[in-house]
């Protein structure tokens, strides 16, 4: 462990040490205590049994709950992380879920660190049983903690440390960096009141047409995914954060977004055992705290009429529980997603998921309807109360492991000494720098020569809503090479505008093309518009020197296969834009390797090394 990171850990433990509280319950004790609860003495991947006091708390809590309250513990609705004044309509909705419906936890979305912490402290004081707080921080705290911009000025509002997508870690192949990412995530998440990350993604991205996993996966190799995810889990656990492997039984070989419809997996059991299951088995071996299921139909095992694995006793209980011996909390994916809601509606799948073996029903359409539906199922005999008790016991055990028996609040005064501090951003910058991958360079264009007379046309392709795409990258390139002309295109660019851009390209010595295309919920595809692809391919076929940089999906090369140079930065955050710009200029070494293959000619592990040539 680096000395700097040691300092960060010590500072976090000090910042979260017990402090006088004006309201009960008390502030959560330091991270060191939480870590001791989670780490086994001989095997850092194994969970120690609960203490006798924790076991008593779990059983006494179950005994104190009514049937309706027990079912409430299995419901986790979605909540925004934004500021909401006490008494406001936004706050009141969540307060009712916590105080009246007695939900077991909340799933927080995007918000600023202090807004997160203040909101969670207030809600925790109103909960009869401490709330288990989860967030989709799969590739780091910055994924949910801010990193938003004020409009129209685009003034950055700050937030958690922003990392590239985890496929960038795949390109580094570094367990050390994966562990450090987990540590930063754990430190910042616990500082603002989050106990459980919905990550790491354990899906093996074996299908280039996958519209929703893509760079969210570490790569296409089961061994690579298992190895890096294991380090991520251990790093997060060392700072007291629980983790969730997703999306079981594996979402990597799909070509449909489960937010929209029900994807299918055609592989048989042998295929799943060799490709999709290994990372989940490895994570269970690491003692992962939770697993999230996928709304995917595994027709290769359950036949052409297979329903979502979330509702399958075969996958949830027989394979995950009985074969893999997973004993942690089993979450459904969001129950409003098209992959389950289109076929079964809003309430029936809630009963089916619990019957299949799920513990927590994530983001049902209506909290109250969900609770009443499950209460009715127990009273009618479709579900037994003992089945409910088993899931409640797992949820309460997770809360005990998070230290919530002793305290549930966080220190608001410590947040700005923990979240997005320089020691953390340095780690994110190292991940971005070491991930840059030069997949091909037929004309040896990379790094750019320092000829300031060369005319460069820098074209940024991005969604119209992505206002920061290209800003950091183009600023660095233009500062070093002043004859760089930036231009931007998107799905709205007209034929007339492409004609004008074509004239600019003709008069330029080099095209630098930056494509910001990443997996997005409900988009159904990850690719570029045909007009843009044809424009780039036309110039590539003409022999024009072109460097294409993908700030997102690595598979874009298939849209313009004749380009001379193809560089991968994996994500479009400013940290990746800066890393890519400095690499293209030769101010940083390039040594990333493909964690996926790019048909027809670039294989897994390919990558061209370039030495640093200047500063």
Q: Which residues are catalytic?
A: 259, 333
Cα separation, 328 vs 351, in Å, equals 20
Would you state the structure tokens that stand for residue 375, as one six-digit string?
Answer: 């209460």
Computed from CA positions of residues 377, 383, 387, 389, in that sequence, does the dihedral angle turn out positive or negative?
A: positive
Taking Cα atoms as reference points, which of 27, 36, 60 lies closest to residue 404?
Answer: 27
Closest CA to 526 of 496, 551, 497, 556: 556
Q: Which of these, 368, 339, 365, 364, lies nearest to 354 by C-alpha position?
A: 364
601-608 CB contacts, 8 Å cutoff, 24+ apart: 602/439, 602/440, 602/557, 604/219, 604/220, 604/221, 606/439, 607/171, 607/437, 607/438, 607/439, 608/438, 608/439, 608/440, 608/441
Return the SS3 of 54: helix
Query: Contact at 8 Å (CB) between 489 and 460?
Result: yes
State both tokens at 189: 């998440």
Nearest partner of 186 among 398, 26, 419, 429, judged by Cα: 419
Compute the C-alpha angle 575/578/579, nearest 5°.
85
């Amino acid at each position: 462990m680096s000395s700097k990171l040691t300092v960060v850990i010590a500072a976090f433990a000090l910042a979260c040490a017990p402090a006088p509280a004006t309201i009960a319950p008390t502030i959560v004790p330091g991270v060191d205590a939480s870590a001791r609860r989670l780490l086994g003495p001989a095997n850092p991947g194994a969970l120690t049994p609960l203490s006798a006091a924790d076991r008593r708390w779990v059983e006494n809590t179950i005994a104190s709950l009514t049937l309706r309250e027990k079912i409430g513990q299995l419901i986790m609705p979605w909540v925004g992380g934004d500021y909401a004044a006490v008494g406001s309509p936004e706050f009141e909705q969540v307060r009712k879920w916590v105080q009246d419906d007695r939900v077991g936890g909340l799933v927080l979305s995007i918000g600023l660190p202090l807004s997160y912490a203040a909101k969670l402290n207030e809600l925790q004081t109103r909960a009869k049983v401490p709330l288990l707080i989860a967030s989709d921080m799969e590739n780091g705290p910055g994924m949910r903690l801010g990193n938003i911009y004020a409009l129209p000025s685009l003034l950055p509002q700050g937030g958690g440390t922003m990392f590239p997508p985890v496929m960038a870690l795949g390109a580094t192949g570094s367990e050390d960096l994966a562990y450090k990412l987990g540590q930063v995530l754990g430190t910042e998440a616990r500082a603002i009141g989050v106990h459980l990350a919905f990550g790491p993604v354990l899906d093996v991205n074996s299908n280039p047409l996958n519209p929703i996993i893509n760079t969210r996966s570490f790569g296409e190799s089961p061994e690579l995914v298992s190895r890096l995810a294991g380090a991520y889990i251990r790093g997060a656990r060392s700072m007291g954060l629980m983790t969730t492997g997703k999306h079981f039984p594996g979402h990597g070989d799909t070509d449909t977004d489960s937010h929209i419809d029900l994807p299918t997996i055609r592989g048989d059991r042998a295929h799943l055992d060799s490709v999709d299951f290994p990372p989940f088995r490895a994570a269970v071996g690491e003692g992962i705290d939770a697993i999230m299921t996928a709304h995917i139909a595994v027709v290769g095992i359950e036949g052409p009429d297979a329903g979502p694995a979330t509702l399958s006793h075969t996958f949830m209980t027989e394979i995950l529980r009985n074969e893999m011996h997973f004993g942690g909390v089993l979450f459904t994916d969001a129950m409003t997603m098209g992959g389950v809601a289109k076929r079964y509606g809003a309430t029936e799948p809630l009963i089916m998921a619990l019957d299949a073996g799920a513990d927590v029903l994530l983001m049902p359409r209506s909290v109250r309807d969900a609770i009443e539906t499950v209460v009715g199922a127990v009273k009618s005999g479709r579900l037994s109360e003992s089945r409910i008790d088993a899931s409640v016991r797992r949820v309460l055990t997770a809360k005990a492991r998070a230290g919530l028996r002793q305290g549930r609040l966080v220190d608001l005064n410590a947040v700005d000494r923990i979240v997005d501090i320089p020691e953390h951003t340095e780690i994110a910058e190292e991940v971005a720098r070491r991930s840059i991958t030069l997949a091909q360079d037929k004309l040896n264009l990379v790094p750019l020569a320092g000829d300031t007379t060369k005319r460069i046309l820098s074209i940024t392709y991005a969604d119209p809503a992505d206002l920061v795409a290209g800003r950091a990258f183009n600023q660095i390139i233009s500062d070093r090479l002043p004859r760089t002309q930036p231009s931007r295109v998107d799905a709205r660019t007209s034929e007339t505008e492409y004609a004008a851009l074509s004239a600019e390209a003709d008069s330029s010595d080099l095209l630098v093309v930056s494509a910001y295309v990443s997996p997005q919920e409900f988009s159904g595809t990850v690719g570029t518009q045909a007009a843009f692809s044809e424009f780039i391919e036309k110039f590539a076929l003409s022999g024009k020197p072109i460097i294409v940089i993908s700030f997102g999906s690595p598979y874009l090369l298939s849209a313009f296969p004749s380009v001379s140079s193809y560089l991968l930065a994996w994500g479009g955050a400013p940290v990746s834009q800066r890393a890519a710009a400095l690499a293209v200029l030769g101010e940083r070494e390039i040594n990333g390797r493909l964690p996926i293959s790019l048909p027809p000619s670039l294989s897994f592990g390919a990558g061209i090394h370039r030495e640093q040539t200047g500063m």
